[in-house]
Amino acid sequence: MRRLTSHLTRGLLFAMLLVLAGCASLLPSERAEALSPFHEYADAEKRFAQAIPGQTTRHDLANLGFDPLSGGNGRMLSFIDVRLLFVQPNVPITYLPDGLLQCLEAKERCSGYSFEFSQSHSERVGSFWADLFNFRKKRQIQSWRFQALFVLVDDVLVHKVSSGEPNIRRYESKKNPLGPLQGAGDFIMDQL
C-alpha cells in the first residue's frame, strides 16, 4: 500500500511540474539544414557576389565556400549538363551571355557547379493540451533557400547566376474537432 501511495505522490508531483513548467515549451520543434558554410541567406549572397567572372578560379570558389567536394550540397556539371540548362530550342544562341558562349565554344573544357543551400526551423506553437490531445496543431516555419550556378572554362569562372528565397515564413494550422478520436474510424477499419 505504501508503494502505491509513493508512486501516486510521485506521479502527482511530476504532473504538477509539467503544468508549472510552461506547457508551451514542451511542444516539439524541428531544425533542418542543408549543411553549408553559410549561416544565413545574406552570407551566401555576399560570398556569391565576391566571385567575379573572368578573374575567379575554381580554387577561389572553394575558398568562398562553393566546393562540392569538401563543402557538399553541390553538383558537378559536365559541358552537356551546362548546355542543357541554358540552350533552349526557341532561343537563339546569340541571345546567351558572353560567358555561356565561351563555354559552348570550349566544349569539353567547360564545366560547372550547381549548389543549393537551405535552412529551416519549425516550431509547434499554441496550446500544449490542444496539441497533446490532437484537437489543434499549429506550426511556425522560418527558413531560407539559396541556389547558385557557376560555369567555368579551363578552371576560370565565365558565368554565374543565383536565385533563392531569403525569408520564408509559413504558418500551418490543423484542426481536429474530435481530438484523439479523429482518424479512429480509419484505424478501426484497418484492423478489421
Number of domains in the chain: 1
In a domain, 69, yes or no: yes
| pLDDT, mean of residues 122-132 | 73
In a domain, 159, yes or no: yes
In a domain, 15, yes or no: no
Is pTM beyond 0.85? Reply is: no
Could you report the per-residue pLDDT of 79-116, keeping only the tens digit for each? 999 999 999 888 888 899 999 999 999 999 999 999 99
pLDDT class for 184, splitting at 50, 70, 90?
A: low
In a domain, 178, yes or no: yes
Which one has a higher pLDDT value, 164 or 23?
Answer: 164
Q: What are the DSSP E strand ranges found in 89-188?
A: 110-125, 136-153, 156-175
Cell 515549451, residue located: 25
Taking 50 as the threshold, does the pLDDT of residue 20 lie above it? no
In a domain, 34, yes or no: yes
Structural domain including 66 reads 28-185
Which one has a higher pLDDT value, 4 or 109?
Answer: 109
With a CB cutoff of 8 Å and minimum separation 6, the contacts of 170 are 140, 141
In a domain, 19, yes or no: no
The predicted structure's pLDDT at residue 131:
67
Residue 191, Cβ density class (10 Å: 0-12 exposed, 13-18 middle, ≥19 buried) = exposed
Taking 50 as the threshold, does the pLDDT of residue 159 lie above it? yes
In a domain, 91, yes or no: yes
The predicted structure's pLDDT at residue 50:
97
* Mean pLDDT computed over every residue of the chain: 81
In a domain, 191, yes or no: no
Find the Cα–Cα–Cα–Cα dihedral 131, 124, 174, 141, rounded to 10°.
Answer: 180
For residues 60 and 78, is the Cβ–Cβ distance under 8 A? no
pLDDT class for 139, splitting at 50, 70, 90?
A: confident
